Structure 1
Amino acid sequence: MKKTYTIRKGAVMALVATSMMFSPVLTGSAFAHGAAPSAPVQSAAGIVIPQGAQGQEVADLQKKLKDHGYNLKVDGIYGPITQEKVIAFQYAQGWNADGIVDKPTLNALNRTNAKSSDVVQTSKPVQTSAAKTTNTAAASDNTNDTVAIAKSLVGTPYVFGGTTPAGFDSSGFINYVFSQQGISLERTHAGMWENNGVHVSKPSVGDVVFFENTYKSGVSHSGIYIGNNQMIHAGTEDTGVEVTTPEQWKYYWSKHYIGAKRF
């Protein structure tokens, strides 16, 4: 499942001179662990509710997250799902999200006027047939969850055929991110492109972008779009799950792009 891409020297010489944006090897799938997208930042306020905690304090936290429009079960356990919602909320505030519940995070959650309107509205629902009408609030919540989960997995190693946080291939990565939101997808890129979700004319944050004729002919790769011609995908055995750059999109991915879907 390891993918090898050959890029013409003349097209990328200037790019390579500034940074090695393109790896000669692009793996078809990879998945990532549940770590935060950056090293936890210990604020002066310190940790108020540690990850793994249980009890009423955690239940109150979960209720506040629900008040802000995040869909999760109030069970009093600070597990991976609660951490993902905390990360999504922190990203919505424009912070360097780390999943740490400190005083600034609690203060933001305690704002009575912040409810679900604080959740960043990054995409609009697709207007399709009546049978496929999209609820705006639900679509926005899913968008935030998709990006937050994907970002939390950046750096996870590539494992051939992997479908768990111990290691993933590229289609396994997409499958896992959406399974955390209760969405079941086809196992392969081609299957997802053919059978899941709805096509959109232009990708919005949280949509899945698809590519063809990369390491093999036909639909062969996909990633989660995060805006600015960037995506999170299972990159190489060297990089694991990574965030691509606009330059990579311009010089490589745009040449293989076939469209986007919303799940």
Structure 2
Amino acid sequence: MGKKRVAVFCLTLLFCLSCAVTALASFQRGDDGQEVLSIQKRLVELNYSIKSIDGDFGPETENAVRSFQTDRGLEVDGIVGSATYRALMNKEMPPNRSNSVVRNVMRAAYSVIGTPYVFGGTTPYGFDCSGFTQYAFARAGVYLPRMADSQFYSGRQISMSQLRPGDLIFFTTYEAGASHVGIYVGNGNFIHAGTSTGVTVSSAFTGYWGARYYGACRVL
């Protein structure tokens, strides 16, 4: 690839990542937490019906948001993006939307399931373990170092009991320390690029991988 094509590719990649980061700034069905609770309370204050004010962005909240958007002449999509949030809450969108980031990491990871293992691979044509995790996080606008052992120190170290979907999970394989990495998806499973399986979902705590568990870290 010539220098000009490399430069164009890099600029395009940077543009796509910046768009991904911007797209993450929203609240939508499936989100939960204190900010969602605040949105629900504000909607009820403005006489939009939500029976369960519980911090879970479900169908009722989505319908209330749609009604609010219709009344205010906003795009009616049931998603609290920056414009809807500003009109509803009278302030700017909070900068950290970790739930949305996790969702986008998981979506990117599952979108390439079945991709073959390629040593040094970092694209949907072929991944190695850390190339896969780096790719999935980059699709959500989050930078990870290239190698598994470096990724182990890219976030806060957590115990096995603290694991939640989106955490990085590590194993000792061909050398001591964190030499294999994947993304925890819940229920004792993780998605990763295995040398003999390609991108697949495996049990993290039983069988081959259970015997080689090394640790985990939380980046998001």
TM-score scaled by length of structure 2: 0.56
- Counterpart CA distance in 2 for 1:136 and 1:207 is 20
In percent, how many aligned pairs have the same letter?
Answer: 39
Q: Which amino acid aligns with 1:200?
A: I
* Aligned-residue CA RMSD (Å): 3.4
Classify the secondary structure of the residue corresponding to 2:118: coil
* 1:175-219 deviations in Å (ceiling 9; x for gaps): 11111122221111111113x11112221011011112x122222
Q: Which residue of 1 aligns with 2:188?
A: 229
1:203 aligns with 2:163: yes
1:219 and 1:171 map into 2 onto residues whose CA distance is 11
Tell me: CA distance 1:149–1:187, structure 2 relative to 1, closer, same or farther (3 Å).
Answer: same
2:175 to 216, 224, 236: 216
Give the 3-state SS of the residue equivalent to 2:216 in structure 1: strand
Distance, in Å, in 1 between the alignment partners of 2:60 and 2:96 is 20
Are positions 1:173 and 2:132 aligned together? yes
Greater than 4 Å deviation, 4+ residue runs: 107-110, 113-116
- Residue 168 of structure 1, CA deviation: 1.0
Deviation string for 1:112-143 (max 9, x for gaps)?
45646xxxxxxxxxxxxxxxxxx896111111
Q: 1:259 aligned to 2:220?
A: no
Provide the C-alpha distance between the structure 2 equivalents of 1:179 and 1:109, rounded to a whole number of angstroms: 30
Distance change >3 Å, CA 226–CA 168, structure 1 → 2: same
In structure 1, how many angstroms separate the alpha carbons of the residues matched to 2:27 and 2:149? Answer: 38
Indicate conservation of the 8 Å contact 2:132/2:193, yes or no.
Answer: yes
Q: In 2, distance between residues paired with 1:143 and 1:250?
A: 25
Question: Matches of 1:108 and 1:172 in 2, distance apart?
Answer: 40
* 1:156/1:167 contact within 8 Å kept: yes
What does 1:52-63 correspond to in 2, within 5 Å? none
* 1:149 counterpart residue number: 108
**Rg (Cα) greater in structure:** 2
- Cα distance, 1:254 vs structure 2: 2.3
TM-score by length of 1: 0.48
Match of 2:121 in 1: 162
1:251 CA drift (Å)? 2.0
Q: Contact 2:26 / 2:100 at 8 angstroms: preserved in 1?
A: no
How far apart are the structure 2 equivalents of 1:254 and 1:221? 13
- Larger RCO (CA under 8 A, 6+ residues apart): 1
More helix by share: 2
Deviation at 1:151, TM superposition (A): 1.0
Question: How many residues get paired?
Answer: 145
Match of 1:138, as an amino acid? Answer: R
Q: 1:222 to 1:111 in 2, by over 3 A?
A: same
Corresponding residue for 2:144? 185
Match of 1:6 in 2: none
Cα separation, 1, equivalents of 2:117 and 2:60? 36
Distance 1:175 1:204 in 2: 18
